Amino acid sequence: MKAIGLERALRISTETGIPIFTHFWFVKYRNGKAIAQFNPQDYHEVFWWQAVARPHLLRRKVRAEDYHKGRFRRDIERLAWLPLSRKMAKELRKREIPGISIVFETLMMKLSRGDIPYMRREVEVKSSFNLGVRLRYVRSYKVGKNVGTDYEIKESMKVLEGIELLPKA
Amino acid sequence: MVAAADPEIWRAGSDGSPTKSALAGGPPVEFRFKTDDTPQTIDANNPIPIPAAGFNYSFWVHLALAYSGTFTQIDNLRWFTDGTIGWTLGTAGEVRRGNRDSGDHGCDELDYDIATGTIGTSGDDIDDGVNGHGFYEGETVATIDVEGDISGAPATIQTGPVTAVESSHAVVLQVKVDTDATQGTQSQETFTFRYDEI
């Protein structure tokens, strides 16, 4: 499938060091509300920790340290990696973020109350001893719960496997 | 924001405090094994001579990732090659990396050891008992042929997590040349860093 905007995404990735990606994360809570990685109005990005961490004291805003200290919201219902639409990818590229719309698979996981959320992008930075960095891209997306415990469940979705469309030297 | 990652080389400076050079997208060419501590300078100076006996080594090179941008965390940094290094380094010649008997194989900045050797002749062996790399020499298996680090079995460089803008741990590389090596500029060979990020 032709990836519209791939050449521009490659250029942006080379200039910024940000890997090319195809999906964004999405978190849904039990009260029906949800948060996406990118605000659909202005494409402002939300940090992952902002979506899943729980403040130590409920009267203050959540902080990154809440995430790093393992304090997670207990009302997360679903985690999902959703594919970028062509419009969304184009809007991101306008903002010098190398998104492309190339596949339409979704990866999702349902959480029970109190499950510890887990999501990761698996990134590859391909380089050469002779020619320097050639390519940066998100190879696969991972979702899971309670990772590192006896109750771990983890799934992954491979999207880009060693794409060979390298910029010419 | 999705984190940005740029390969960089650590060199010169002093033990525990390297000078960092970005390995930018080419051209120009940005990385070469030599018998001096200037791998970021691509020229014909101080190539690795073929030894009459024994082995010659390049000065070792610290290769890391410089993380930037805004992100929640990065972990599980791994490194690998395509499994075949087509360089004519001789029967027992190889491209090797520093290896630890247990734990992560990457070298922290604080454990950086400046590359040493005889300029124009040979770098010191990573595993040399006197002048070797302090983070690796003395390990039971101090170096590993990088042909063994492949996509399905990459070398774990840094388990992490990394939660702030900084450099990753470094993979320490070195070329070993045997007496029956063939001289000349070697072919392009790729390597890959792989990590998890959110």
Helix, strand, coil percentages in chain A from 3-state DSSP, rounded to 5: 20, 35, 45
Chain A residues in contact with B3 by the CB 8 A cut-off are: 18, 123
| Chain A residues whose beta carbon lies within 8 Å of the beta carbon of residue B2 | 18-19, 21, 97, 121, 138
- Whether A40 contacts chain B with CB within 8 A: no
What residue in B sits closest to A18 (Cα-Cα)? B4
Question: Which residues does B64 contact at the CB level (< 8 Å), separation at least 6?
Answer: B7, B8, B9, B10, B20, B106, B167, B168, B169, B170, B171
Q: How far apart are CA A84 and CA A107, in angstroms?
A: 13
What CA–CA distance (Å, rounded) separates A126 from B7?
10
Pick B190's closest partner by Cβ from A16, A67, A127: A127
* CA gap A33, A16 in Å, rounded: 33
Residue A131 touches chain B, beta carbons under 8 Å: yes
A133: which chain B residues are within 8 Å (Cβ-Cβ)? 6-7, 23-26
pLDDT at site B28: 37
Nearest to residue A138, comparing CAs of A47, A9, A44?
A9
Interchain contact, A124 vs B193, CB within 8 Å? yes
Are the beta carbons of B190 and A47 separated by less than 8 Å? no
- Indicate the pTM of the whole model: 0.92
- A20-55 pLDDT, tens per residue? 999 999 999 999 999 999 998 899 999 999 999 999
Interfacial A residues in 44-73 facing B (CB < 8 Å): 45, 47-49, 64, 67-68
Residues from chain A that touch B68, judged by Cβ atoms under 8 A, are 17
The minimum CA-CA distance between A15 and chain B, rounded to whole Å, is: 8
* Confidence class for position A132, pLDDT limits 50, 70, 90: low
Closest Cβ opposite residue A123 in set B5, B29, B70? B5
Q: Supply the pLDDT for residue B72.
A: 94
| pLDDT computed for residue A1 by the predictor | 47
What tokens were used for A14?
């080379």
Q: What is the pLDDT of residues A57-110, one digit of tens each?
A: 888 899 999 999 999 999 999 999 999 999 999 999 999 999 999 888 999 999
Q: Which residue on chain B is closest to A25 by alpha carbon?
A: B198
Please tell me the distance in Å from A30's CA to the nearest CA on chain B: 23
Residues of chain B with pLDDT under 70: 1, 23-30
Q: What pLDDT, on a 0 to 100 scale, did the predictor assign at position A168? A: 30
Taking the Cβ of residue B83 and every Cβ of chain A, the question of whether any pair is shorter than 8 Å is answered with no
d(CA B146, CA B153): 11
